[in-house]
């Protein structure tokens, strides 16, 4: 199907960036033309070396987009370098100015207008001038707690409220996630970290804001809480030793209110040894809808799938800062046919 391969470059070569490159290497419809990272230990090395994927050939790591653009002309930047919309926008400005589109796992880019409305308007205008698009995507945020429930309401006559519950068994996940959820910390220390904005799941309020936007609801407020889950006994993982009474995970909730009523509730539990991982969506309305993803969706490896799968849809979209809900239905892109 694909006449010309889509050229991509990877911005950010941490664990998610490496996963993104490995998946990109398996796509016959993609050509990886380079990488960008500020780590001096990575600059100048080949992507084949860093990933173990020989098919990535001689493409190398550059210290900046400017340096990359001096030798390569990507169509899309795959951006996996942080959670802040303001920082991410600034990081990819050179690409957007050059009319190069950006697909990002930056959590706040799921709904950037929530925290950075001025920057969102500014970059949207920039994209419209240059012909570039930028979108935030992923599994959570980006799918299970926002895009999936929104899609479900496509068959709704009336939506009264939306409840989404996600339970993740953190024992099966990477070290950074086990650290993020507070594994082994004293409960009060974890609470203090969340209060200081240094713990908790990023992009939670953005998922809620995207849901509200799609439902046409103007929220009066978003309230977010995060409590530690306390280990009922000692827990040992590949990365942590948690004693009874210490933190073994988090229970985060966000509630969006309209007219004094809780219209959207997001409930996220990520903890070690969770026995019943799942994602559940309850739409109250007509018809009532009750969806469960048994076992849930593992975020780590599926996040880069969401990132790669959005590339052709992003390139076909109108220029601007785009939301996932403005792009065609997400779906797997066949690595051979590119469709």
Residues found near a copy of itself in the complex (CB under 8 A): 1, 23, 139, 143, 147-148, 150-159, 213-217, 285-295, 297-298, 301-306, 309-310, 324-339
Q: Give min distance, CB of 312 to a copy of itself, in A.
A: 11
Residue 29 burial class via C-beta count within 10 angstroms: exposed 0-12, middle 13-18, buried 19 and up: buried
Two structure tokens written together for 312: 């052709």
Cβ atoms of 101 and 77 closer than 8 Å: yes
CB of 238 to a copy of itself, least distance (A): 20
Confirm if 151 and 329 have CB atoms less than 8 A apart.
Answer: yes
User: What minimum distance in Å lies between the beta carbon of 310 and a copy of itself?
Assistant: 8
Nearest-approach distance from CB 255 to a copy of itself, in angstroms: 19
Q: Closest CB to a copy of itself among 29 and 89? A: 29
In the complex with a copy of itself, which residue's Cβ is closer, 65 or 324? 324
CA distances from 210 to 112, 201, 214, 241, 259 (A): 10, 16, 6, 37, 18
CA distance 172 to 184: 16
Closest C-alpha among 61, 64, 54, 56 to residue 14 = 61
CB of 331 to a copy of itself, least distance (A): 5
Q: How far is the CB of 98 from a copy of itself (least distance, A)?
A: 26
| Contacting residues for 339 by C-beta, under 8 A, at least 6 apart | 1, 2, 312, 333
Alpha carbon distance 302, 283 (integer Å): 25
Intra-chain end-to-end CA distance of the chain, in Å: 7
Identity of the residue, 138 or 184, whose beta carbon is nearer to a copy of itself in the bound complex? 138
Tell whether the torsion through CA atoms of 213, 218, 221 and 225 is positive or negative: negative
Name which of 131 and 285 has its Cβ closer to a copy of itself: 285
Report the residue number, 4 or 41, with the smaller CB distance to a copy of itself.
4
Give the tokens for residue 124. 């949207």
- 64 versus 151: smaller Cβ distance to a copy of itself: 151
Nearer to a copy of itself, 95 or 170 (CB): 170
Nearest residue (CB) to a copy of itself, 222 versus 305: 305
Residue 268: exposure state from Cβ atoms within 10 A (0-12, 13-18, ≥19): buried
Q: Least distance (Å) from a copy of itself to the CB of residue 309?
A: 6
Shortest distance (Å) from residue 44 CB to a copy of itself: 29
Please state, in angstroms and rounded to a whole number, the distance separating the CA atoms of residues 58 and 48. 7
């Amino acid at each position: 199907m694909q006449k010309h391969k889509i050229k991509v470059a990877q911005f950010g070569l941490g664990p998610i960036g490496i996963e993104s490159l490995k998946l990109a290497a398996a796509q016959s419809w993609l050509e990886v033309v380079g990488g960008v990272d500020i780590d001096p230990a990575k600059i100048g090395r080949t992507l084949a070396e860093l990933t173990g994927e020989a098919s990535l050939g001689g493409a190398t790591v550059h210290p900046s987009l400017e340096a990359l653009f001096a030798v390569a002309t990507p169509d899309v930047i795959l951006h996996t370098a942080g959670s802040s919309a303001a920082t991410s926008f600034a990081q990819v400005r050179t690409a957007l100015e050059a009319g190069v589109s950006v697909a990002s796992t930056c959590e706040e880019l799921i709904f950037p207008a929530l925290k950075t409305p001025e920057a969102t308007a500014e970059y949207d205008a920039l994209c419209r001038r240059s012909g570039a698009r930028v979108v935030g995507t992923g599994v959570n945020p980006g799918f299970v707690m926002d895009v999936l429930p929104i899609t479900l309401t496509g068959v709704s006559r009336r939506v009264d409220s939306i409840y989404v519950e996600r339970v993740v068994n953190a024992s099966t996940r990477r070290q950074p996630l086990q650290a993020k959820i507070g594994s082994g910390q004293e409960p009060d220390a974890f609470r203090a970290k969340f209060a200081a904005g240094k713990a908790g799941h990023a992009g939670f309020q953005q998922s809620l804001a995207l849901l509200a936007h799609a439902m046409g609801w103007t929220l009066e407020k978003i309230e977010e809480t995060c409590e530690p889950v306390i280990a009922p006994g000692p827990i040992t993982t590949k990365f942590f030793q948690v004693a009874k009474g210490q933190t073994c995970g988090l229970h985060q909730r966000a509630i969006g209110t309209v007219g004094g009523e809780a219209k959207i509730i997001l409930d996220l539990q990520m903890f070690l040894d969770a026995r019943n991982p799942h994602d559940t969506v309850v739409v109250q309305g007509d018809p009532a809808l009750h969806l469960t993803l048994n076992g849930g969706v593992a975020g780590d490896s599926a996040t880069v799938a969401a990132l790669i799968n959005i590339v052709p849809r992003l390139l076909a979209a109108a220029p601007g800062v785009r939301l996932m809900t403005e792009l065609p239905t997400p779906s797997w892109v066949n690595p051979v046919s590119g469709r």
